[in-house]
C-alpha cells in the first residue's frame, strides 16, 4: 500500500472508533500514532514528541492553575461575580464570551486567549452550581478565538507562513499582505459565529448537553479553612495568573513553558498541594491530545494531504476553466484537510497550488490566497486542526459534538468565504 494511503485508511478507522467508543479515546489516538510508526512514517521519538509540545504543556499548566483557583477560593469570588450577573441570562454570557474571545485573539495569540479564559469559565460553572455549564461556552470560545486570529497578520500562524510564500513568489499579481488587510474579510466571518449560535448553536447545545450533569466539584480536597482561602493566597494566585498572561502576550518564552512555570509556582509556594495539583490534571485528555497531535503530524508528513488535493483537482482537469469553480474546490479541500491536520501545514501546502491555479486561469492570485488562509481557519468538524479548539477538549466534549455543532458552522463558514472573498478580491 502506498505510504500516502495508509494515514487516510487509519484516519477512517480512528473516526469510526472515536464515534463508537468501543475502546478508550486515548488508546485510539496513541494506537493511530503508533500505526504510523509501524508504517515507517513516524519515528518513535516523533510519536511521543507531542507530549512535550506547547499545546500539551499549556493544557497541563492551565489545568493546575485552574485547580489552584478552586483551592484558594478564587473560583467562588470570580465565578460568583459573573454568576450574579449572568445566571439568568446564559445566552448573553455566551455572546459576551464569543465577542470577547474574538477581539482579544485579534491582538494576542488565540491559544493564549483560550488558556486565559478556561479557568474563568470553570470558575463560573462552579459558582453557578452548573447553571452556567462550561460545555455551553468552551467550544464557542475556541471557535471565536480562531476566527479572531484571522484579523491581523500577526494573530495566527497560517497567515504568517503564507506571507513568507508571498514575499518570495514572483508570479504576476502576487504581493505581501498588509498587517490588517485580512480584517476586511475576517471581521464579517467572525461576526457570523454569534449569529450562528443565536439561530442554531444554542438550540443544538441544549439538545446535546441537556441530559448531562456538570462535573461535580465535591470531594476535590478543596479546603474551606481561612488559612488556605486567605486574601494573601488569592492575591498570589492572581499575580501568577496575570504573569502567565503577560508571558503569553509577550512571547519571550514558549507559551507551554510559561503555563508550566505558573503551575510550578503554585505548587512551590504551597498555594495548592502537589498531590492535589497532579490529581487535577485530566490525564485522559492529555493522552488523547498527544496522540491526536502526533497522528496529525504524521498525516502531513506522509503526503496524504497533497494526495487528496492532487486527486481532487485532477478530477476536474477536463472541466471548463472557471475561476469560481476551482476557488470553491480549493476552499473545500482546505476545509477537509484542516479537519485532520495542522491548519498551518494546510495553508502552506495549498497556497502555492492556489497561486499556480490562478495564473493558469488568468485570475487574481490574491483571491485564492486569502480564501485559503480563511478556509484553513474555519474547519471545526474535529478538534484537531488548531490548538485553541483542541484545548477545549478539556470541557469533556465528544468528537461527535464537534462534528454536529462545529460541522454545521464549518459548512456555513465555507459558503460565506466562497461568497465574500471574491467580492472583496474580484477574480
pLDDT digits over 188-218, tens only? 999 999 999 999 999 999 888 877 766 655 4
How far apart CA 387 and CA 105 sit, in angstroms, is: 13
Looking at residue 321, its pLDDT comes to 64
Specify the pLDDT at position 139: 94
User: How far apart (Å, rounded) are the C-alpha atoms in residues 3 and 118?
Assistant: 39
Q: What is the dihedral of CA 169, 175, 178, 182, to 10 degrees?
A: -90
The Cα–Cα gap between 159 and 165 comes to 10
pLDDT at 237: 86
- Joined grid coordinates for residue 354: 492556489
Q: What confidence tier does 15 reach under pLDDT thresholds 50, 70, 90?
A: confident
**Whether the predicted pLDDT of 221 surpasses 90:** no
- Residue 220: its pLDDT value, please? 45
Structural Rg of the chain based on CA atoms = 22
Cell of 297: 503530524
More confident residue, 99 or 341: 99
The C-alpha atoms of residue 132 and residue 134 are separated, in whole angstroms, by 6
Confidence tier at 187 by pLDDT (50, 70, 90):
very high
Mean of per-residue pLDDT scores for the chain: 83
Transcribe 259-328 into DSSP letters: HHHHHHHHHHTTSS-HHHHHHTS-HHHHHHHHHHHHHHHHHHHHTHHHHHHHHHHHTTTTS---HHHHHH
Q: What is the tens place of the pLDDT at every residue in 316-347? A: 765 556 889 889 988 998 998 888 777 887 88
pLDDT of residue 366: 93
Task: Tally helices (H) and strands (E) across the chain.
Answer: 22, 0
End-to-end CA distance of the chain: 40
Question: Which residue do the cell numbers 510508526 mark?
Answer: 37
pLDDT surpasses 90 at 315? no
Neighbours of 325 (CB within 10 A): 13
Q: Can you give the pLDDT at residue 320?
A: 59
Tell me the C-alpha distance between 413 and 374, whole Å. 9
Greatest Cα pair distance, the chain, in angstroms, is 76
For position 224, what pLDDT does the model report?
47
Tell me what pLDDT residue 319 has: 54
Separation in Å, CA 146 to CA 142, 152, 350, 404: 6, 12, 19, 18
Identify the pLDDT of residue 222.
45
Range with the poorest average pLDDT among 48-57, 75-84, 292-301? 75-84
| pLDDT recorded at residue 331 | 94
In sequence order, the 6+-apart residues with CB closer than 8 A to the CB of 268 are: none
Mean pLDDT on 183-190: 94
CA distance 331 to 375: 6
User: To the nearest 5 percent, what fractions of the chain are helix, strand and coil?
Assistant: 70, 0, 30
Q: CA 365, 371, 376 angle in degrees (round to 5)? A: 130
Mean pLDDT for 231-253 is: 84
pLDDT tens for residues 136-176?
A: 999 999 999 999 989 888 777 788 788 888 888 777 888 98
Give the Cα separation of 357 and 321 in Å (integer). 10
Rounded to an integer, the average pLDDT of 372-387 is: 87
pLDDT tops 80 at residue 77 = no
Q: What percent of the chain has pLDDT over 90?
A: 23
Residue 219 has pLDDT above 50, yes or no: no
> Does position 223 have pLDDT exceeding 50, yes or no?
no
Three-state secondary structure call for residue 212: coil
Query: Which grid cell sits at 116?
Result: 486565559
pLDDT average, residue stretch 361-373: 91
pLDDT of 198: 93
3-state secondary structure of 226: coil
Which pLDDT score, from 0 to 100, does residue 368 have? 94
Give the best-scoring range by mean pLDDT among 100-109, 186-195, 295-304: 186-195
User: Which of 70-79, 288-297, 351-360, 366-375 bottoms out in mean pLDDT, i.e. has the lowest?
Assistant: 70-79
Amino acid at each position: 500500500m502506498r505510504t500516502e494511503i495508509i494515514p487516510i485508511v487509519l484516519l477512517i478507522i480512528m473516526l469510526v472508533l472515536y464515534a463508537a467508543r468501543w475502546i478508550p479515546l486515548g488508546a485510539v489516538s496513541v494506537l493511530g500514532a503508533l500505526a504510523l510508526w509501524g508504517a515507517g512514517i513516524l519515528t518513535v521519538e516523533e510519536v511521543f514528541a507531542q507530549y512535550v509540545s506547547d499545546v500539551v504543556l499549556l493544557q497541563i499548566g492551565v489545568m493546575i492553575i485552574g485547580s489552584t483557583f478552586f483551592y484558594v477560593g478564587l473560583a467562588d469570588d470570580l465565578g460568583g461575580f459573573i454568576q450574579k450577573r449572568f445566571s439568568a441570562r446564559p445566552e448573553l454570557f455566551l455572546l459576551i464570551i464569543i465577542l470577547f474571545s474574538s477581539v482579544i485573539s485579534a491582538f494576542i495569540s488565540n491559544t493564549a486567549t483560550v488558556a486565559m479564559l478556561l479557568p474563568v469559565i470553570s470558575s463560573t460553572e462552579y459558582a453557578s452550581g452548573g447553571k452556567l455549564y462550561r460545555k455551553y461556552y468552551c467550544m464557542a470560545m475556541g471557535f471565536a478565538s480562531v476566527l479572531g486570529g484571522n484579523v491581523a497578520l500577526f494573530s495566527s500562524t497560517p497567515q504568517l507562513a503564507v506571507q513568507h510564500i508571498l514575499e518570495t513568489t514572483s508570479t504576476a499579481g502576487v504581493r505581501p499582505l498588509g498587517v490588517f488587510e485580512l480584517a476586511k474579510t475576517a471581521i464579517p466571518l467572525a461576526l457570523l459565529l454569534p449569529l450562528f449560535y443565536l439561530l442554531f448553536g444554542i438550540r443544538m447545545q441544549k439538545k446535546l448537553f441537556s441530559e448531562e450533569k456538570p462535573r461535580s466539584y465535591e470531594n476535590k480536597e478543596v479546603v474551606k479553612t481561612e488559612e488556605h482561602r486567605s486574601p494573601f493566597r488569592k492575591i498570589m494566585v492572581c499575580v501568577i495568573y496575570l504573569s502567565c498572561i503577560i508571558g503569553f502576550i509577550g512571547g519571550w518564552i514558549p507559551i507551554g513553558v510559561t503555563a508550566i512555570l505558573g503551575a510550578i509556582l503554585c505548587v512551590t509556594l504551597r498555594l495548592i498541594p502537589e498531590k492535589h495539583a497532579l490529581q487535577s490534571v485530566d490525564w485522559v485528555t492529555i493522552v488523547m491530545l498527544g496522540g491526536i497531535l502526533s497522528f496529525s503530524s504524521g498525516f502531513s508528513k506522509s503526503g496524504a494531504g497533497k494526495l487528496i488535493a492532487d486527486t481532487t483537482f485532477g478530477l476536474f482537469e477536463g472541466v471548463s476553466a472557471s475561476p469560481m469553480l476551482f476557488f470553491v474546490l480549493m476552499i473545500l479541500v482546505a476545509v477537509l484537510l484542516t479537519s485532520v491536520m495542522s491548519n498551518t501545514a494546510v495553508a502552506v501546502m495549498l497556497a502555492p497550488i492556489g497561486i499556480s491555479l490562478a495564473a493558469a486561469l488568468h485570475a487574481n492570485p490574491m483571491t485564492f490566497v486569502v480564501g485559503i488562509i480563511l478556509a484553513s481557519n474555519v474547519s471545526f468538524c474535529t478538534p484537531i486542526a488548531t490548538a485553541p479548539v483542541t484545548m477545549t477538549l478539556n470541557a469533556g466534549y465528544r468528537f461527535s459534538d464537534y462534528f454536529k455543532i462545529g460541522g454545521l458552522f464549518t459548512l456555513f463558514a465555507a459558503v460565506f468565504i466562497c461568497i465574500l472573498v471574491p467580492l472583496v478580491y474580484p477574480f
